[in-house]
Amino acid sequence: MDNVLTQLRDIVGEPWVLTGADMAGYDRDWTGAYISSPLAVVRPVSTKEVSRIVALAYEHEIPVVAMSGNTGLTGATQTHGGLIIALDRMTKIRSLRPDARVVVLEAGVILAQLHAAAEEHGLIFPMTFGAKGSARIGGMLGTNAGGSNVLKYGNMRDLCLGIEVVLPNGEILDLMTELHKDNSGYDLRDLMIGSEGTLGIITAACLTLVERPLAYATAMIAVPDLGSALRILHRLQKETGGAVEAYEYMPAAYMRAFQELRPELRPTFEQIYAVNILVEMGTTISELAHEQEDGTRPLNQNIEAILAQYLEEGTILDASIAQNETQRQAMWEVREAAAEISLKTTPLVNNDIAVPVDKVGYFIETMDAQIAETWPEAKTMYVAHLGDGNIHYVVWPNVDDDGVKNDIMEAVEDLVAELGGSFSAEHGIGLGKRPSMARRKLSAALNVMRAIKSALDPKNIMNPGKVLPE
Ligand SMILES: Cc1cc2nc3c(=O)[nH]c(=O)nc-3n(C[C@H](O)[C@H](O)[C@H](O)COP(=O)(O)OP(=O)(O)OC[C@H]3O[C@@H](n4cnc5c(N)ncnc54)[C@H](O)[C@@H]3O)c2cc1C
């Protein structure tokens, strides 16, 4: 192995091969639940270097694990004895072409860095979520990340035109197209996206940018129940010309938990409602965004009028509209504390599930009732991207018993399956969801995935032991 370390130092330079205590920070995941003992952490600065590292690992049959921001929530970057290839020095934006609405960038660019670069051109990269200050493009593509505004803009697959990938034998596969239409054979880009570093290492990508909304109207609304919440979303879309970008559900228990977490902040409403929704609408129409003499904008006036009407009819129970950017950010702070709130209590059964959008209410009511009846000691905590049917449904069983945790997980998966849903919506499989993969994924689908994996990675060096069950 000394020989391999020497060769790695030759490839990237002495300072960029970390071993022993220098690997601190790379040797555990964001949750702290998955600890690694890597052979070394290598920090390349170019695609060529990644290619040479992977070729070396292939020759010596050493597992390689791609790591970008290390904010993944499924233990997908854990390794014992493998090489971690950290993309955190590959942070160049190669080009940003406003007219083509594309940005070509390296895999180590942090999401917030991309946001800032797009803003300079009056554009946005529309994906955003709580880990935006740390998650990097390579990992976001590796997991096919979603987030708060998939409702309007889609997930990473929808926002990616091309990628550059280093294959398990070190070969560079250049799929860096900027085309919106390309039906020339199998879609290898979409195969790589979401494969969690098990088929190749993404070193660069070409992503789409969109027009930056000139103004946002952001509100917290309280509605009578989840069924009406979906109808309100459809009505809002109709009455605003499809301007709703985010529609995020938070129940009473979540609002209480946030108050406990951040007692210094004033709660949005004086009372705690059962169904709270953070709704955000954006406009690119200058007449709607134009600030009037009194500081208001027509967009906000429109939303105020719409919500006042809903209040009068009893369609909604309460509403608070952000009057400025500070208030808007404060509303988002409530929603973006979800991972912190859900993961701080242990033991927990963590579910990132998707059901058809009109089944979210049924799922939550049915599951809550079943949990209360079967495990009366347990508590639930959840938030949902209501507009796309993704629920982060966490159960705190109040007892550290693997049998109980497994039974709860299976009960959740049973109902998800019955509703035609998925046991993994946006976080991926990694290690944590492999048992669900074994239980729930169609065996025909698993067989195809295994065939692809062994064709591309015959020595099984790319993030082995992740995604596919034994
Ligand atoms: C506070 C918080 C909020 C979050 N909110 C959301 C959310 O709303 N939506 C959401 O989807 N996720 C969310 N996540 C999860 C996480 O941020 C995403 O999964 C993100 O996409 C991971 O990016 P990363 O750069 O941290 O990847 P990493 O954690 O470094 O890696 C994740 C996976 O991708 C693989 N990978 C990394 N780099 C590459 C590469 N270059 N090529 C190929 N594979 C690679 C890794 O091997 C691993 O399998 C949240 C996490 C936190 C901590």
Decide: 11 in ligand 1 pocket, CB within 6 A: no
**pLDDT reported for residue 470:** 85
**pLDDT greater than 90 at residue 293:** no
Residue 451: both structure tokens together: 């065939």
The verdict on whether omega for the bond into residue 347 sits within 30 degrees of 0, i.e. cis, is: yes
Ligand 1 neighbourhood includes 388 CB (under 6 angstroms) = no
Type of residue found at 170: G
CB of 421 shorter than 6 A to ligand 1:
no
pLDDT in tens, 333-378: 999 999 899 988 889 999 999 999 999 999 999 999 999 999 999 9
The verdict on the CB of residue 108 being under 6 Å from ligand 1 is no
Per residue in 296-323, pLDDT (tens digit) is 899 999 999 999 999 999 999 999 999 9
Query: In the predicted model, is pLDDT for residue 2 greater than 80?
Result: no
Domains and CATH numbers, the chain: 2-86 (3.30.43.10), 93-211 (3.30.465.10), 215-336 (3.30.70.2190), 344-426 (3.30.70.2740)
Give the Å distance between the CA of 198 and the centre of ligand 1.
14
- How high is the pLDDT of residue 295? 80
DSSP reduced 3-state for 229: helix
- Whether 191 shows a pLDDT value over 90: the answer reads yes
pLDDT tops 80 at residue 76: yes
Order across the sheet with 318-321: list the strands: 318-321, 215-223, 275-283, 244-251, 379-385, 390-396, 349-354
Span 130-163, pLDDT tens digits: 899 999 999 999 999 998 899 999 999 999 999 9
Residue that the structure tokens 């390349």 belong to: 44
Give the residue, by CA position, lying nearest to ligand 1 atom 18. 72
What separation in Å is there between the alpha carbon of 323 and the centre of ligand 1?
33
Summary mean pLDDT of the chain: 96
This prediction has a pTM of: 0.95
* pLDDT bracket for residue 128 (50, 70, 90): very high
Q: Mutation test of ligand 1: which of 34, 51, 71, 426 has the most ligand atoms closer than 8 Å to its C-beta?
A: 71
Q: Is the pLDDT of residue 44 over 80?
A: yes
Sequential DSSP letters for 408-468 = HHHHHHHHHHHTT-BSBSSS--TTTTHHHHHHHS-HHHHHHHHHHHHHH-TT--BSTTSSS
Q: Which residue's alpha carbon is nearest to atom 28 within ligand 1?
A: 70
Task: Establish whether residue 194 lines the binding site of ligand 1, counting it when its CB lies within 6 angstroms of any ligand atom.
Answer: no
pLDDT in tens, 83-115: 999 999 999 999 999 999 999 999 999 999 999
Indicate the SS3 state at residue 340: helix
Cα 76 to averaged position of ligand 1 atoms, centre (Å): 9
Q: For residue 354, what pLDDT is reported?
A: 98
pLDDT, mean of residues 60-84: 97
pLDDT value, residue 452:
98
Closest atom, ligand 1, to C-alpha of 165: 42
Measure 155 CA to ligand 1 centroid, in angstroms. 13
**Minimum CA distance residue for ligand 1 atom 9:** 147
